[in-house]
Structure 1
Amino acid sequence: MKLRLPAIALFVGLTISAVPMRSLASTHVAAQNKQDLITELIVERLPGRSSLGAMSLIENEFDLNATVESKIVDRLEVIQLDQPITRTEANALVQQLVGSGKVASAEINEKRYVATAPYDPGYPEQWYLKDFATVDKGIGIESAWLHTTGSPSLVIAVIDTGYTVHEDLATPLPGYDFYGNDADATDPGDARLLNQCSETPSAASSSWHGTKVAGVIGAKVNNGIGIAGINQQSQIQHIRILGTCGGDTSDEIKAIRWAAGLPVDGVQLNPTPARVINLSLGGGGACSTSEQEAINAATTAGSIVVVAAGNAGVSATNSSPANCNNVITVAATTKTGARASYSNYGSKITIAAPGSDIPVTSGASTYTIGSGTSFAAPIVSGVVSLMLSVNPTLNNSNIMTLFNDALHPVANPFPTGPSACSSNINDTYYCGVGIIDAGHAVDAALSIAPEVFSPMQPVRIADTRPSGLVSSLNPLTLDLKGTFGLPTVGLGAVALNVTATGATQGGYVTVWPCAATKPLASSVNYAAGEDIPNTVIASPDQYGKICLDSFTPVNLIVDLSGWFISGDEFHTFTPQRAFDLRQTGLVITPTTPYAFQMTGNFGIPTTGVSSVVLNVTATGATAPGYITVWPCDQPQPYTSNLNYLPYQDIPNAVIATVDANGQVCFGSSSPTFLIADISGWFAQGSNLNVMTPQRLFDTRPTKRISTTPIYILDLSAASPIALGAATAVVLNVTATGATKKGFATVWPCDQAQPPTSNLNFDANEDIPNLVITKVSATNTVCFNASTPVNLISDLMGWFAP
């Protein structure tokens, strides 16, 4: 077990003084600043007068054509000039208009711009946030802030000494202390006495290192005190592994896993997994196997790991975790852009960032100056968090690719001169691809089209049992924007598993965006005493909320398994009733399938559509059977989309491919009525690949699935999915042959089994459900059940990377 020491340098006092500042734009058109070219006036007409008098004066005196661009209120109008004039000319025109007596008032219609520069008094001293084009070679944060100041749903973990309460830092999320083995991540101080620690025998006062790192990432902005953090919105989570004499690799491994939402023995799962993990620490030696495995698991789970290069002024190949794979290793530069003399260098470096003379938050709500790669790393962590804020679907591989993308460079080149870093990996003082630029990095993140679907480890987001019955008089509202790991922007729809339970009479559940009128549609149909699940792809309203209510009182359990990004690839809307064959008396039988025209209806275009999102319910059957849904121009497959028993109303979600004419066919093995509601459609070219259903497995009659052993489905051989070609799969899973009530869970095998359900079943029932699940890194999906049951699974489609 090797000893870890925080990678920190000397700290000196800082006196912060308030300095007035303003943000200036300096783009020129010829010799005239654009802000001084005027094209519009705001004019108030006199009572009873038209605009003609003012416009004729403008045309006669200034040889300009003028039109009313818009009306603000009553007699107040915006006058548009046909060509720009200078500010001097505009001032003269305003004076002449007012002096003519033809208008009540006139003024220039001044431009307004986003204010990005904060008024924190220490901000002028934060040289590293300035634009690289200035004397100080900073990261150009204000260019990034024009796009985003962060996402409240994003979590940044700081694995360090813990935290102290500070006036300029928001209250962090609950973290963990692996150094002290408890849930209190506060920093008690790491002061040491002379000869107290064998590897660092000198005495030292407390470093308050975790508090300093947190301030670089997320110090409060525009609060009139202190400094400004890079990310103004996201939440910080502290995980303590360092104390008086450093820390251990074993605690670092635990912390990385816990931060990413992965299991650690004896510790509850982290309910708020981090997208960015900052490690401003290190020690000598190679990256251990266990250390690398923890990092690999974290990045697979969706985290980005950022590591300080180290402060020994040597090659980082001998500093761990800086020398591990799948991490962003950060070297430090000075105000001039030169390599800081203490910074490690070499082929293990990914990128550089300012690290010298950094104003930071410290203990007891004080401020100081920090120098070291410990403060270069959180600068990169902050920038990466902004990249994820504008494109939440980016993963570790995407970030690494962007960092090396010459077409969308995220860094500025190193200046030449003494102590210069090199971007040539063959040179001794290689410091990565350059000095990170926040604006360039966010632009690069925006250049990648986000994946239409982002699968998640399933998480329970609502359970109204035992006393919170949902009804039409007591609806359930879920606020999804920025919660449960969902983004605040770009959230088009969510994949939910909704289970109705505890009803005393039959009914149905409706799910819809709260701001819309409740539709005449059903999302889950249930009978008294039954547990009925259904996958629901629901579109939140503009406030991020979805509503659920029920025709009769029932308890609801809701699990979240992923989300769809808003955009041109997937279009959702409030559910609409597509058809109800009970109204026409048409019974579907094995010999009389039903074809329905999807495109050209419900606002769906006639071309460019690949598939539609349906909720299909079988009702009125007098014998058991199953429903199959398929594109009408293909043969009917030997698979099922929902199974039913006599006199049951059984729903299931279906993502159905439309044929060349925009039609979908429905067939049944026994006579039954069908009801279908539609809630969205996928465009051709999206990363959803819907296919003719393919039977993956059927455990009948002798291979019942239970809690042990777990059934592992290897999708590598599942045609047409090749190894690694899917991030998530769309399955239809049916439970059958149970002798008592239970539930089944489906999850990616490289993650811990979640405490959620994908389908609930009763004894002697055939219960289907559509399951959209993330695929493990080895292309496997796991299944188990709380009680023995046979499972049947059909592959309906997959989401490509």
Structure 2
Amino acid sequence: MNGLRRTSLCAAAVSAAVFSVVSPVNAAPSQIQSQPDSTQVNRPFERLIVGYKPGTAEASSDTAASDDARKKGKSVHRRTASGAVVVDLGAKTTNADSTIQAFKSDPKVAYVEPDLLMQPFADPNDTEYSRQWDLFEATAGMNVPGAWSSSTGTGVTVAVIDTGYVAHSDLASKVVAGYDFVSDSARARDNNGRDSNPADEGDWTARGECGTDANGQPVPAADQGSSWHGTHVAGTIAASTNNSKGIAGIAYDAKIQPLRVLAKCGGATSDIADAITWASGGTVSGVPANTNVAKVINMSLGGQSSCSTTYQNAINGAINRGTTVVVAAGNSNANVANFTPANCNGVITVAATGREGNKAFYSNFGTRIDIAAPGGETRRGTDTPGTITTPENGIWSTLNAGTTTPGAENYKPYQGTSMAAPHIAGLAALLVAKKPSLTPAQVKDLIKTNSRPLPGTCSGGCGAGLADATKAVNAVDTTPPPSGGLENTTDVAIPDRGTAVTSSITSTVTGNASSATKVGVDIVHTYRGDLVIDLIAPDGTAYRLKNSSSSDSAGNVVATYTVNASSEVAAGTWKLRVQDVYSGDTGYINSWNLTLQ
């Protein structure tokens, strides 16, 4: 066949080829044709994030960093938890080429990027258990009730990095101390910068109050009331249950830690990154240590950009500290590869489905999607942008009736990937509560491997399928964890019809491997029939896990293989070897694990 499939190139493959030039900046060079510059954006920003190289005075001295910024005609706003500095530009802009170039040309600088304002990914509209089809309906619900006999989230804190928290009686007993990370007092509306009160002050805005977009149109395009977005997200995760009122939370015995990063006109990347660090137990200068470290983070927010170094560093730190990071894919009906932090490595990226089980009309898609979850559809599409046409098909949760500042508590339906992500954050909390030793990679694998096929359609890629809470929670008992923590979560790009690539795991396990050695594989790919997968033992013996098949047009490989490796000495370097033997599609090794005994 000369390495060419006889079948025609599928739509997903065409999409992947088109978007290959805008892959995340952390993708390996062989995965992309042209790496984007994270400083090229079309949204207003007023600050830069500048990272200095280790060993330079500016990397550790605030005085030196301030002097360096002053030489370039700018001033330092503050230093982030990662050590980078936030530099004021003095005005809002979509183009700071001269200043950016001045920093990029400085040999002391490791990276420079805009401090973009992220926006909530919900699509708010205006309004109990029977309404929560997303939890229990057979067609497209997430099969949550069956999981509650095994886990209810006890002992797990979930950080909701969002607009903060507005008081609600269905959440009051679930909330633990959080923090307000909004560093701009004017945007925060609380007349100060960062503080220990994460109360949602409201994110209402007047038309054009947040500047203009790249086309000169006012942002927002019309007056907008407060969304109380973080409170709606929190209710889906952990609202009180069996209390004769309101809604049921997925992990209803978990705790919610509200971290306020979104306020008027959105939230800054630097503030969000610091919130990720703090939530997961990292240190943030000027902020007291977190005494309720979160094992799960939910971020129903984002913007259009490649994954920045600032985000990736914060996410890497959180995952290394054992915190699972869940992110909404975005609501632009576009390839998620272009939206951050959903396109960052290591996170669980969540697409949204409607009540019929199809990809929601607004949801982003693509090979970077890990899983789909209910996000609702209260509007039928762009024909009725300001009208709630099907409120019964939305995601009902805790909210507030205030149009600007807080009013009476209530419940209303929203739609959006913002609503889908907390379903997965709640499921992650159920898994970690049942087995606290689970790593973020294992949590992701359990959710993906135990999903079920999407009941409807998804053009462009919706990950492993629709999450199934009961199946995933039950699998904690039946799926052994990697022996001795043998797993590799570093992405490795798979070149299209290219040479084989490998990902390694080094074992110190004594004795021989077993006759039922387990290999857990999570590979993102647009046409899995292209792939040949082998396990290579330390002595070079190859065990075939998967052959290629020109007729297998499905995407992604999420599977656990059993290998008779009883003759192999367990100690040494084991490799997962993957080769794409046909043309037209791309992908990467997301993670893999190994159970030797």
Shorter-chain TM-score: what band? 0.5 to 0.7
Q: CA deviation at 1:449?
A: 3.9
Q: CA deviation at 1:403?
A: 3.8
Q: CA deviation at 1:453?
A: 9.9
Does residue 402 (structure 1) correspond to residue 422 (structure 2)? The answer is no
Q: 1:721 to 1:261 in 2, by over 3 A?
A: farther
Does residue 186 (structure 1) correspond to residue 226 (structure 2)? The answer is no
Q: CA deviation at 1:12?
A: 2.6
* SS of match in other structure, 2:248: coil
Q: CA deviation at 1:452?
A: 10
Structure 2 counterparts to residues 632-781 of structure 1, below 5 A: none
Match of 2:225 in 1: 205
Percent sequence identity over aligned pairs: 43
Cα separation, 1, equivalents of 2:481 and 2:417: 32
Match of 2:242 in 1: 222
Q: CA deviation at 1:170?
A: 2.7
Letter paired with 1:392: P
TM-score (norm 2): 0.54
Does residue 436 (structure 1) correspond to residue 467 (structure 2)? The answer is yes
Q: For the Cα contact (< 8 Å) 2:120–2:300, is it kept in 1?
A: yes
Cα separation, 2, equivalents of 1:445 and 1:241: 33
Larger Rg computed on CA atoms = 1
Q: 1:378 to 1:205 in 2, by over 3 A?
A: same
Cα deviations by residue, 1:302-339 (Å, 9 ceiling, x for unpaired)? 00000000001101011000000100000000011001
Q: For the Cα contact (< 8 Å) 1:158–1:210, is it kept in 2?
A: yes
* SS of match in other structure, 2:178: strand
Q: 1:157 to 1:350 in 2, by over 3 A?
A: same
Q: CA deviation at 1:203?
A: 1.3
Cα separation, 2, equivalents of 1:452 and 1:433: 25
Letter paired with 2:396: P
2:343 to 317, 323, 347: 323
Q: For the Cα contact (< 8 Å) 1:388–1:445, is it kept in 2?
A: no
Letter paired with 2:197: D
Structure 2 counterparts to residues 29-178 of structure 1, below 5 A: 122-131=128-137, 134=138, 136-151=139-154, 153-171=155-173, 172-178=175-181
Match of 1:196 in 2: 209
1:276 to 291, 296, 303: 296
Number of residue pairs aligned between Structure 1 and Structure 2: 338
TM-score (norm 1): 0.41
Q: Which has the higher helix share?
A: 2
Match of 1:303 in 2: 323
Match of 2:124 in 1: 10
Q: 1:10 to 1:404 in 2, by over 3 A?
A: closer
Match of 2:356 in 1: 336
Cα deviations by residue, 1:526-578 (Å, 9 ceiling, x for unpaired)? xxxxxxxxxxxxxxxxxxxxxxxxxxxxxxxxxxxxxxxxxxxxxxxxxxxxx
Q: 1:392 to 1:249 in 2, by over 3 A?
A: same
Cα separation, 2, equivalents of 1:149 and 1:274: 16
Letter paired with 2:225: S
Cα separation, 1, equivalents of 2:448 and 2:158: 23
Structure 2 counterparts to residues 414-429 of structure 1, below 5 A: 414-416=454-456, 420-421=457-458, 428-429=459-460
Does residue 413 (structure 1) correspond to residue 442 (structure 2)? The answer is no
Letter paired with 2:338: N
Greater CA drift, 180-189 or 273-282: 180-189
Cα deviations by residue, 1:263-299 (Å, 9 ceiling, x for unpaired)? 1112122111100000000001000012111101100
Q: CA deviation at 1:358?
A: 0.4
Match of 1:637 in 2: none
Does residue 383 (structure 1) correspond to residue 386 (structure 2)? The answer is no
Letter paired with 1:227: I
Instruction: Give unmatched runs, 5+ long, in structure 1.
Output: 14-121, 422-427, 455-719, 725-799
Cα separation, 1, equivalents of 2:171 and 2:439: 28
Larger relative contact order (Cα-Cα within 8 Å, sequence gap ≥ 6): 2
Q: CA deviation at 1:450?
A: 6.0
Q: Which has the higher strand share?
A: 1
Q: For the Cα contact (< 8 Å) 2:203–2:264, is it kept in 1?
A: yes
Letter paired with 1:413: P
Does residue 361 (structure 1) correspond to residue 398 (structure 2)? The answer is yes
Letter paired with 2:181: F
Cα deviations by residue, 1:729-752 (Å, 9 ceiling, x for unpaired)? xxxxxxxxxxxxxxxxxxxxxxxx
Q: CA deviation at 1:721?
A: 9.1
Cα separation, 1, equivalents of 2:433 and 2:307: 30
Cα separation, 1, equivalents of 2:573 and 2:409: 52
Letter paired with 1:164: V
Q: For the Cα contact (< 8 Å) 1:261–1:273, is it kept in 2?
A: yes
Cα separation, 2, equivalents of 1:404 and 1:125: 26
Q: CA deviation at 1:146?
A: 1.9
* SS of match in other structure, 1:347: coil
Match of 1:686 in 2: none
1:447 to 458, 478, 493: 478
Structure 2 counterparts to residues 403-552 of structure 1, below 5 A: 403-405=447-449, 410-416=450-456, 420-421=457-458, 428-449=459-480
Q: 1:721 to 1:2 in 2, by over 3 A?
A: farther
Q: CA deviation at 1:388?
A: 0.9
Structure 2 counterparts to residues 612-631 of structure 1, below 5 A: none
Q: For the Cα contact (< 8 Å) 1:393–1:450, is it kept in 2?
A: no
* SS of match in other structure, 2:122: coil
Q: CA deviation at 1:448?
A: 3.2
Cα separation, 2, equivalents of 1:366 and 1:126: 15
Q: 1:448 to 1:415 in 2, by over 3 A?
A: closer
Cα separation, 2, equivalents of 1:362 and 1:453: 44
Q: For the Cα contact (< 8 Å) 2:124–2:227, is it kept in 1?
A: no
Cα separation, 2, equivalents of 1:722 and 1:252: 40
Cα separation, 1, equivalents of 2:480 and 2:330: 35
Letter paired with 1:411: S
Cα separation, 1, equivalents of 2:233 and 2:466: 19
Q: CA deviation at 1:402?
A: 2.6
Cα separation, 2, equivalents of 1:722 and 1:290: 35
Cα separation, 1, equivalents of 2:341 and 2:415: 20
Letter paired with 1:442: V
* SS of match in other structure, 1:435: coil
Cα separation, 1, equivalents of 2:336 and 2:484: 38
Cα separation, 1, equivalents of 2:429 and 2:368: 22
RMSD of aligned C-alpha atoms? 2.4
Match of 2:76 in 1: none
Cα deviations by residue, 1:439-465 (Å, 9 ceiling, x for unpaired)? 0110122223468999xxxxxxxxxxx
* SS of match in other structure, 2:161: strand
